[in-house]
Structure 1
Amino acid sequence: MHVIATAGHVDHGKSTLVRALTGMEPDRWEEEHRRGLTIGLGFGWTTLANGEQVAFVDVPGHEKFVPTMLAGVGSVPAALLVVAADAGWMPQSSEHLSALDALGVRHGLLVISRADLADPEPARRQSLDIVARSGLGALSTVVVSAVTGQGLDQLRAEISQLVKALPAPDRQADVRLWVDRRFTLRGTGTVVTGTLAAGTVRVGDTLSIAATGQVGKVRGLHALGEPRDEVTATARVAVNLRGVDRADVRTGDALVAPDRWLTATSLDVAVPEADRLPGRLVLHLGSAAVPVQLRPLGKLAARLTLERPLPVRYGDRVLLRDPGRHQIAAGATVLAVDPAQFRRRGAAASRAADLTVLAAMSSGRPAAASELTLRQHGFRLAAELTRAGLPLAGEPISHWRADPARLAELVRRAPTEVSAWQAENPLSAGIAVDTLRQRLDVPDREILTELLRRAGLRVAEGVVRQEAETTLPPRVAEAVRAVRDALAASPFSAPDAPRLAELGLGNAELAAASRAGYLLRLPAGVVLLPDAPHIAARVLGGLPQPFGLSEARQALGTTRRVALPLLEFLDRLRITERLPDDRRRLREVDLDDSTIHA
């Protein structure tokens, strides 16, 4: 199926033309017939002589209904631009042409209608001249009269040629269906309609409302008035949703494939003469119309802040309308979705320079846009790049993609951050992993782990520490020296808690001395010299084997407070073996082996 919009100023004439082509009435409301004015979107379809099916979206022509017109043309690839022979080119025709031009519609036909009422040639010449200056260029022209039937066969033939020239839609694309109507049918539930520009929808699929994330299941599909099991782009489609009330979805919402789209509240766009545009505009995309704040970034780019989020991708063509002046302000192309905020002086100017280069590129823009996104953010999940419509760029780290320059800079900076922390906190075990991650502004531990590996830093027990020798503060070093001197004279006379407190050695100080290799800390607050296990093993080796706690205590010349944690430590080192009767025996170990340590 192909979908074509019928645009132009003539309202009742356009509807008559669609009716003549399809045999269907696009004006659905009594008020439209009474006023001779198209108010809502009208629809009709036909099968051409070559078997191609074509659906028409008849859009309003009156300036009061421009938002409705834009909702109708927002997803179509081609248009019939209809001009009445008895009226000629009208101001509203110019706005329709500007809209098609801004949205990037490059395929169409010029139809001079109502040829039974006036000479069509003046209107044809005038219209061709105006249209030729737009992106539609030199269009084929057909003169018709829906009343007499003049030119209708030629029009059908020209439409056949038009649809042959349309680019093939991507039927494997992620679904994004902009809702242009929604209603409830008794016994069926909520039904929404829209133009499916890309992708495929099947009965049983799960779709979510992009604005809210609410999920519904496709209960049924209709296209061209017939039930379908699946509908492929491009097509007019009606979707019956299970699990979604009519109040949950509105015109301008989008049904999307779950977890495949980013909903953006800010966009960077390429837009001509950005510095001359008003600050307040309305962005039109698909059937959505959202107020935006525009901030120029140079002459060729701007940042748009949206009043509500929309599912947007890189490369989307959006239309900006000035509602105050009732005119199309510009067409814009999305270059970045939810770009990083400007937090540093000069960030906006730097971004403007990058976007100006990107906007001016004629080839290679998608890869450059992806690299620019990484340069701005540093790191992005690969899935986020895909959801934003960007190719994967940068350096892969697990599920992430990294900007190579940012990665290299952080590898250089990590050791400096760790050293600075150790200098500020000499008694700490090291800088906590999450603290270092925050200091480096790294979004995920997986990335930090890779950074540390490349920087040659080690993580132990949740902290990062340089492998350099630890230097204790003078006060702590003096207290530790006093403990070591006492233990050198009596290796197992461990100082008790009051003595340690008197020396000013708390947990932090003792932990630092232990990491530095000056002291050995055992449970229950027992502090010995690092070689105490070697000395104890030699002493215990002189006892009759096996031996009990009491014999060990007496041989070591110490108390139960010290002997019990020391023996348990020797068990863990596999120097001693604990027997079922709680006695121990010395294992055969090399007591000169320097690897026996805490």
Structure 2
Amino acid sequence: MFVVATAGHVDHGKSTLLHRLTGMWPDRLAEERRRGLTIDLGFAWTEVGGRQVAFVDVPGHERFVANMLAGVGPVPAVLFVVAATEGWMPQSEEHLTALDALGVRHGLLVISKADLTDPDPAIERARERFAATSLGDVPVAVGTDLERVRTELAALIDRLPPPDRNADVRLWVDRSFSVRGAGTVVTGTLAAGTIRVGDELEHAGRRVTVRALQSLGRNEIEVGAVARVALNLRGLDRHDIGRGDTVRTPGVWLDTAEIDVGLRSAGTLHRQLVLHVGSAAVPVQVRQLGTAAARLRLANPLPLRVGDVGLLRDPGEHRIAAGIEVLDVRPPGLRRRGAARERAAELGTGRVRPPDCARASDLRAMGLPARGQRVGDWVVDPQWWAERRDRATEAVRQWAGEHDVAAGMPLETLRQRAGLPAAELLPPLLAGTGLEVADGRVRPPGAALPARVDKAVRAIEEWLAAEPFRAPEA
């Protein structure tokens, strides 16, 4: 299956086009049908070129931009509609800005209402606006030629990158409701991974079970990305989950409330904005780090990984402020003088140095490759590891010189001196160094008591051997 979202100004015919393509009206709400205005996300599907295509229909009115962003956030391609009668309009511009901020690269421009006026001016203006965005030189079809629209849709599908169906599941929820006799149901666009009936997933730290699974109105045993899915979940009340939440593979996602991001098309940002990622919309505090990066503090934690994309919107000014790409989900503190300037320079390169030492599971949760030297469950930078070994050897040597009568350096003290994050790393670090470990202490090889102390100890031993029952004397 393939999933495509619509975009475009209000009343330019997005829902009508989907009805003509699929035979289904995507508008779900009675108010939408009464007013002839899309308010929330709608859904329809059909077969194009022998392949199933699901459409997410988004509202075009400015008041419902948040709903629009929830629909396009997890979707890889867009069907952008512009009416020949009105041409390029304000919400055409905002929708395109949002798509550019999200980095959407695959799309089809459809000119509607071309039977009422010459479509060429609308085509020319739209192409001009698209050219400078991530969508670039998109193909164009006129809505009156439905076969051409289908042909271009098939070509669009051919250009989409294959999804990773073995990836960890993170389903951004766009709807939740209750079905009598079944319980809680959530829907969303599955962008990566595979979901099966009986799977155990996680929501807000709580395990839930996939009781039943549907896609395009059909019961399924298994659905792989990319797909529209509806999950009947056991162990969750409908009121405990909603749009912007996730259900995901347990134990492999990191909920973070502070991230460093790269910025796209950003000027000076206000301190208070809203972060849109997936189907979520979360207020954030913004601290710009140069012109190309920022630190965001989220009002609510989200399961984010390095490489995730989203956008910042200014609801007060009704505009998209910037596109973002997550660069770090565990950013360092910036309290030291000059730390913010150094961090801005690092983030300005568009990448962040991975941790020198981290558990492989933590790297997976952060969205980072496990490159480096494996040490048990850990992945370490080889140079960093060699430096820790040298530091540990020197620390033990110094300790022995300063504490010549001690049985050895406590292992916890050595861990701190060497700069290791966990005690379990000490045995592999010390392996091959020749250092001796016994009774929770470490000492240089062949370490012995100083001569004066050894002489005194021998004298006491001889005295005790000669008179073992003699009382000690003051």
Distance 1:443 1:332 in 2: 31
More off after superposition, 344-353 vs 297-306: 344-353
Q: Is the 8 A contact 1:275 1:296 kept in 2?
A: no
Q: 1:199 aligns with which of 172, 193, 197?
A: 193
One-letter amino acid matched to 1:352: A
How has the CA–CA distance of structure 1 residues 275 and 126 changed in structure 2, closer, same or farther, with 3 Å as cutoff? Answer: closer
How has the CA–CA distance of structure 1 residues 30 and 358 changed in structure 2, closer, same or farther, with 3 Å as cutoff? Answer: closer
One-letter amino acid matched to 1:10: V
Q: 1:456 aligns with which of 434, 450, 454?
A: 434
Per-residue Cα deviation, 1:515-545 (whole angstroms, up to 9, x for no partner): xxxxxxxxxxxxxxxxxxxxxxxxxxxxxxx
One-letter amino acid matched to 1:456: G
What is the TM-score when the length of structure 2 is the normalising length? 0.91
Q: Is the 8 A contact 1:4 1:77 kept in 2?
A: yes
Considering only aligned residues, what root-mean-square deviation do their CA atoms show, in Å?
A: 2.6
Residue 34 of structure 1 deviates from its aligned partner by 3.1
- Counterpart of 1:380 in structure 2 is 358
Distance 2:321 2:249 in 1: 31
More off after superposition, 487-496 vs 4-13: 487-496
Residue 332 of structure 1 deviates from its aligned partner by 2.0
- Counterpart of 1:280 in structure 2 is 272
- Counterpart of 1:31 in structure 2 is 31
Alignment of 1:391-470 (within 5 A): 391-421=369-399, 428-467=406-445, 468-470=447-449
Q: Is the 8 A contact 1:85 1:119 kept in 2?
A: yes
One-letter amino acid matched to 1:197: A
- Counterpart of 1:122 in structure 2 is 121
Q: For 2:13, what is the secondary structure of its paired residue?
A: helix
Per-residue Cα deviation, 1:5-52 (whole angstroms, up to 9, x for no partner): 11111247222222222121211112223333211101111122x222
Alignment of 1:320-339 (within 5 A): 320-339=312-331
Per-residue Cα deviation, 1:537-557 (whole angstroms, up to 9, x for no partner): xxxxxxxxxxxxxxxxxxxxx
Q: Is the 8 A contact 2:266 2:323 kept in 1?
A: no
How has the CA–CA distance of structure 1 residues 183 and 471 changed in structure 2, closer, same or farther, with 3 Å as cutoff? Answer: same
2:276 corresponds to 1:295? no
- Counterpart of 2:70 in structure 1 is 71
How has the CA–CA distance of structure 1 residues 332 and 237 changed in structure 2, closer, same or farther, with 3 Å as cutoff? Answer: same
How has the CA–CA distance of structure 1 residues 496 and 2 changed in structure 2, closer, same or farther, with 3 Å as cutoff? Answer: farther
Q: Is the 8 A contact 1:12 1:36 kept in 2?
A: no
Distance 1:275 1:443 in 2: 39
Q: 2:243 aligns with which of 236, 251, 258?
A: 251
2:154 corresponds to 1:180? no
**Structure 2: unaligned runs, 5 residues or longer:** none
What is the TM-score when the length of structure 1 is the normalising length? 0.73
One-letter amino acid matched to 2:259: L
Residue 420 of structure 1 deviates from its aligned partner by 4.9
- Counterpart of 1:41 in structure 2 is 41
Distance 1:71 1:214 in 2: 24
Per-residue Cα deviation, 1:198-237 (whole angstroms, up to 9, x for no partner): 121111111111xx22111111111111111111211111
Residue 340 of structure 1 deviates from its aligned partner by 3.4
Q: Is the 8 A contact 1:414 1:455 kept in 2?
A: no
Give the structure with higher Rg (CA): 1
Distance 2:470 2:61 in 1: 93
Q: Is the 8 A contact 2:109 2:141 kept in 1?
A: yes
Per-residue Cα deviation, 1:457-487 (whole angstroms, up to 9, x for no partner): 2221011233444449x9xx69x84x86576
Identify the structure with bigger relative contact order (alpha carbons < 8 Å, sequence gap 6+).
2
How has the CA–CA distance of structure 1 residues 353 and 285 changed in structure 2, closer, same or farther, with 3 Å as cutoff? Answer: same
Q: Is the 8 A contact 1:318 1:331 kept in 2?
A: yes
Q: For 2:354, what is the secondary structure of its paired residue?
A: helix
Residue 448 of structure 1 deviates from its aligned partner by 1.5
Q: Is the 8 A contact 1:282 1:289 kept in 2?
A: yes
As a proportion of its length, which structure holds more strand?
A: 2
One-letter amino acid matched to 2:354: T
Q: Is the 8 A contact 1:274 1:298 kept in 2?
A: no
Residue 335 of structure 1 deviates from its aligned partner by 2.3
Per-residue Cα deviation, 1:67-108 (whole angstroms, up to 9, x for no partner): 111110011111111112222211111110011111111111
Distance 1:342 1:455 in 2: 37
Alignment of 1:294-313 (within 5 A): 294-313=286-305
Q: Is the 8 A contact 1:219 1:241 kept in 2?
A: yes
Distance 2:399 2:421 in 1: 20
One-letter amino acid matched to 1:126: R
Distance 1:69 1:174 in 2: 26
Residue 114 of structure 1 deviates from its aligned partner by 2.4
**Structure 1: unaligned runs, 5 residues or longer:** 145-149, 360-368, 503-598
Q: For 2:431, what is the secondary structure of its paired residue?
A: helix
Per-residue Cα deviation, 1:375-416 (whole angstroms, up to 9, x for no partner): xxx310112212322222122211101123322222222234
Residue 118 of structure 1 deviates from its aligned partner by 3.8
- Counterpart of 2:19 in structure 1 is 19
- Counterpart of 1:552 in structure 2 is none
Q: For 2:34, what is the secondary structure of its paired residue?
A: helix
- Counterpart of 1:363 in structure 2 is none
Distance 2:273 2:417 in 1: 39
- Counterpart of 1:592 in structure 2 is none
As a proportion of its length, which structure holds more helix?
A: 1
- Counterpart of 2:9 in structure 1 is 9
Per-residue Cα deviation, 1:309-350 (whole angstroms, up to 9, x for no partner): 222222222222222322112222222222333465544444
Distance 2:155 2:458 in 1: 96
- Counterpart of 2:466 in structure 1 is 492
Distance 2:252 2:441 in 1: 37
